[in-house]
Amino acid sequence: MELIKAQKGTQDILPGQSENWQVVEDVMRSEAALHGFGEIRTPVFEDTRLFQRSVGETTDVVQKEMYTFQDKGGRSITLRPEGTAGVVRALLEHALYNNGLPVKLHYFTTCYRYENTQAGRLREFHQFGVEMFGSNSPSADAEVIGLAKSVFDRLGIKNLRLEINSIGCPTCRAEFHKALKAYFTQYKDQLCETCQGRLERNPMRILDCKSPICSKIAEGAPKILDYLCDDCKAHFEAVQKYLTAVGTEFTVNPTIVRGLDYYTNTVFEFISGDLGAQSTLCGGGRYNGLVEEMGGQPMPGLGFAMGIERLMMVMDKQNIEMPAPDRCEIFIASLGEAAHLEAFKLADSLRKYSIIAACDENDRGLKAQMKYADKIGAKYSMVLGDDEIASQKAVLKNMKTGEKKTIDLSKDFVEQYVCLSTEQEDLAF
């Protein structure tokens, strides 16, 4: 029968890899906690309108990439392409803003985008993200950027650059849109079909187009920084002051506009020199109009999300050492039913003291059991058979040195195991 394979653009994360994911996620969780960002978990699917309204009708994500379907009740459902929209919905649905401002949230999510797949660009991928609501202070921008940076620093990731920009507020953006429209109209016939449509509705999206011709034309386009109003200019300058105050290096890149419509003012990306085409490890910014657009009271917001697959790729490339995963401490082999029952009980008692223990689950011969113990990297082994059960004596063997010690099965097993194994480890130093 034909084997069914994982879908294009999806990946299994297997033992051997998942331990590294846990290390990375622990660092993220710990940085989120240090900065006071509580965890939120939102559903994997939402009402399609949520993403149309927030991410924006003219974005690539909404126009081309969403996994949208009708459920059996006739509703239009979409698998979340990103995390921010669901978090804003939850903020409003549960009035989280009543618990004091700013509201600070972090999340781990899977996201779904029907993309042309390549290394670092998947159809299901994982994000760690944070969102902060209710502060318009430039120090909040610097705190959020600083949180992402701390994650990268603690993981030992090098060769990263932080690029920031401001895309202003609706007032200054209206002027910018006019200038962009005038610029791109000269090249209308050369733009891709999608961008020709964007020219009328949202010319800023052309700056984000992946087509080589459109991006070439976009190089000469007007720059938003030349159109910022005084307030936006002052905010952007203050963000830079806060970043500098804590020694965070950055460059201002006026071409960063981000691919989602909800951003206002500060936008930023952490870009890796080790990732090739999909080099953005983390992206984010302010979205001061989004909460209101989703039906709430006006409330500033900001955040970021980092792609965990891309982060793992960079760590791999940079040969960043990960702690060795915990391995089996002791494998208790058994021959015969009485011995198997005893082995099962002893393994259970060890686990209650957080000692990783295993016994045979396949009714195998002794040789096959020991081969398995070797495969799973057990540090110690012990064999139980009729003789051991009758004499209540068994031998604990160090799998690496071959050293053997006798254990009295009539006495506390865990205590003897801990004493003997600690003694041997002490000798090894």
Q: Which residues bind ligand HAM (CB under 6 A)?
A: 82-84, 113, 115, 120-122, 125, 127, 129, 131, 259-260, 280-285, 303-307, 309-310
- In degrees, rounded to 5, the angle at the alpha carbon of residue 76 between the alpha carbons of residues 72 and 79 is 100
Burial class (CB in 10 A: 0-12, 13-18, 19+), 51: buried
Closer residue to ligand HAM in complex, CB, 222/259: 259
Minimum CB separation from ligand HAM for residue 9, in Å? Answer: 8
How far apart CA 112 and CA 277 sit, in angstroms, is: 20
b or e along 195-232 (b: 16 or more beta carbons within 10 Å of the residue's beta carbon)?
A: beebbeebbbbbbbbeeeebeebbeebbebbebbeeeb
Between 169 and 358, name the residue whose CB sits nearer to ligand HAM.
Answer: 169
Rounded to the nearest whole angstrom, what is the least distance from the CB of residue 332 to ligand HAM in the complex? 43
Tell me the one-letter amino acid at 102: P
Tell me the closest approach of the beta carbon of residue 34 to ligand HAM, in angstroms.
19
**Of residues 233, 230, 228, 225, the one with CA closest to residue 207:** 225
- Which is nearer to ligand HAM, 88 or 218 (by Cβ)? 88
Nearer to ligand HAM, 204 or 330 (CB): 204
- Rounded to a whole number of angstroms, the minimum distance from the CB of residue 128 to ligand HAM is 9
Q: Minimum CB separation from ligand HAM for residue 3, in Å?
A: 25
Please identify, using beta-carbon distances, which residue of 222 and 301 lies nearer to ligand HAM.
301
| Neighbour tally for 418: CB within 10 Å | 14
Residues 307 and 417: their CA atoms lie apart, in Å, by 43
Contact partners, residue 85, CB within 8 Å, separation at least 6: 46, 50, 51, 54, 55, 294
What distance in Å separates the CA atoms of residue 90 and residue 99, rounded to the nearest whole number?
14
Number of residue whose CB is nearest ligand HAM: 307
CB 61 within 8 A of CB 259: yes
Taking the complex as a whole, how short is the minimal distance between the CB of residue 260 and ligand HAM, in angstroms?
A: 6
Beta bridge mates, 161: 271
- In the bound state with ligand HAM, the residue whose beta carbon lies nearer, of 198 and 286, is 286
Q: How far apart are CA 88 and CA 317, in angstroms?
A: 35
User: Which residue number, 277 or 376, has a Cβ lying nearer to ligand HAM?
Assistant: 277
CB of 165 to ligand HAM, least distance (A): 14
